[in-house]
């Protein structure tokens, strides 16, 4: 069985950008982004989070948006 979905933080619980991104979190709640956004862009530029990992997160979220 293949499961479709993405991982969302508990409300206000996403406090660490790099650890959350590398640990499997796909979506920080609530918006606007506190640890994602520019912090995540910087983490990718600094090679602390792989761009391919971000692409996978986006694909998971967009797959659900199609439903």
Q: What is the CA radius of gyration of the chain?
A: 12
Residue closest to 57 by CA, chosen among 17, 7, 1: 7
The span from the CA of 40 to the CA of 34, in Å, is 10
| H/E stretch holding 50 | none
Q: Which of 10, 26, 46, 56 is an active site residue?
A: 10
Indicate if 10 belongs to the active site. Answer: yes
Q: Known catalytic residues?
A: 10
């Amino acid at each position: 069985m293949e499961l479709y979905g993405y991982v969302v933080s508990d409300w206000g619980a996403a406090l660490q950008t790099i650890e959350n991104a590398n640990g499997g979190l796909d979506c920080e709640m609530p918006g606007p982004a506190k640890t994602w956004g520019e912090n995540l862009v910087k983490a990718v530029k600094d090679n602390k989070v792989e761009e391919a990992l971000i692409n996978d997160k986006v694909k998971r979220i967009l797959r659900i948006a199609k439903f």
